[in-house]
Structure 1
Amino acid sequence: MIGLAAAGIGFAAAQSPAFFRIGTGGTAGTYYPIGGLIANAISGAGDKGVQGLVATAVASNGSVANINAIQGGSMESGFSQSDVAYWAHSGTGLYEGKGKVEDLRLIATLYPETIHLVARKDAGIKSVADLKGKRVSIDEPGSGTIVDARIVLAAYGLSESDIKAEHMKPGPAGERLRDGGLDAYFFVGGYPTGAISELATSAGISLVPITGPEADKMLSEYKFFSKDTVPADTYQGVGETPTISVAAQWVTSAKQPDDLVYNITKVMWNDATRAALDAGHAKGKMITLQNAVTSLGIPLHPGAERFYKEAGVLK
């Protein structure tokens, strides 16, 4: 597989195609299908994509794994939560004492990623504080979800030792919830997510609100969080639920050639890609050119920045 650094600026003229991998997340989440849509759009098939480019969406363990892969050179780009990207670039939070990932650059902010706290309907969990003593999956180590879950728990005066913590991916967590072996689980991702929709239909769920003075304090303390609301009937039988969100972002390395990232960004926002995103996934419509330059916790890649200035969304 030819590395893009080796391919250099002349990637379009290279004999072999340049590969541009997009690290996504688990196949049950939102990153994976969105990554597939974007990879198809920017691949040089026909006259719509980037000539000489083969882009692929790769399933992964999510934000942290993707940033590590970009840093290590085994992935050209990937999706990350805005909080994790910020921590990586600044060497804080999850990356405290691990050094800064100073080469991390933004291609685009994609859509809000909602913090879902999914509970069994009969578990009697009405607020985050009710998780005390309950069996709760906070996702696997290395996921962005686990960091946010700990922040949310702490805001309501709980730590991991106050709950019976499990460390499962959302798919298996949902199955365990259905079987009665789990009371609740955290999931960070765009709504509606297929696995939760299926769970709501087959077993019934409640979504626990993340609101009140505890949530307000989190919003003032952590700038990568925003207020969010899951509309009524997004999931069968679940009313409107106030919560918080982070942003899903597409990130890469400063080492990727400016012309390549410029061309990828340009194709990302053309009419054909727009149509594919609108038709391909419920979250696709929320991926807009105007939102692409919001939640800028890390610097834009110069190639992307050039395009956004030309497009008039960045001064």
Structure 2
Amino acid sequence: MRGPFAFGVLVILVALGLNSFFVVDEKHRALVLQFGQVKQVITKPGLSFKWPMIDTVVQYDDRILSLTTQPLEVTPLDDRRLVVDAFARWRITDLVRFREAVGTSGEDGARDRLDRLLTAKIREVLGAVPSTAVLSKDRTPLMNQIRDLARKEAASLGVDVIDVRLTRTDLPDQNLSATYARMRAEREREAADERARGAEAAQRVRATADRTVVEVTSQAQKEAEVIRGEADATANKIYADAYSKDQSFFAFNRALQFYSESMKSQSSSLVTQPDSLYFNYDDFLRSIGEVSKKTASSVAQGAAGQ
């Protein structure tokens, strides 16, 4: 009897001994509870002792945890509804307070409470700004504001909200078509205004250019007429002076000009009477031609004799 009894006692003692120690790894921290009350906080990894059958060990993740909120509709300051969801990073900082706040629900219960907390703060912050600020590329101030508000209230849970990021800010599907149509109409109106202003400016430029052309052309024609008149007056004065000095030479010079102008074209023909003024200097011109021929013949004979 003593043998089996001793063996049974030994087995019980071994079981109690094995149940008296537990291991906390580097990714967790632990609370030792005695009848539901916190007896010890273990923050360092390693082997620890607890009273078997009396103490209970609860371990919590010591790493940075993530939380993704469900998409929710918010109404910014200009009453345009938006669909928003967010991504948060959080960490357990106070194990005792965390245990008191969430009880036995642990990290899952903390996520539920943080999700409701973030949802409330997102609505609070985004509801105080226009939709253009929410839809802009730089939403960092808004996200920091949401993080700071959530961090203050999350401190009562024993957790620290490290960061909050808005991952999506879109219009509801039923509003997209109407919004795109309104944006398109606004852009088309702006484009029409720009085209109208451009056409008006172009018309002013063309009118100014046309007026300048008319003014410059008129001034040039005026100056040309003045110059032409002065030139004609000067020419007439020269002709008059020449005529008054030697009328016969003047008549002869005008006849030579007439001959030159009438003989420019080889195909031209002149039909006139024999007693026409055209032949007044015919004999004189013939004599000049004969003299020219004799002179040329003498020069040629002299050159041949040499």
TM range (shorter): under 0.3
* Greater percentage in helix: 2
With a CA cutoff of 8 Å and minimum separation of 6, indicate the structure with the bigger relative contact order. Answer: 1
Tell which structure's C-alpha radius of gyration is larger. 2
Report the TM-score when normalising by structure 2: 0.20
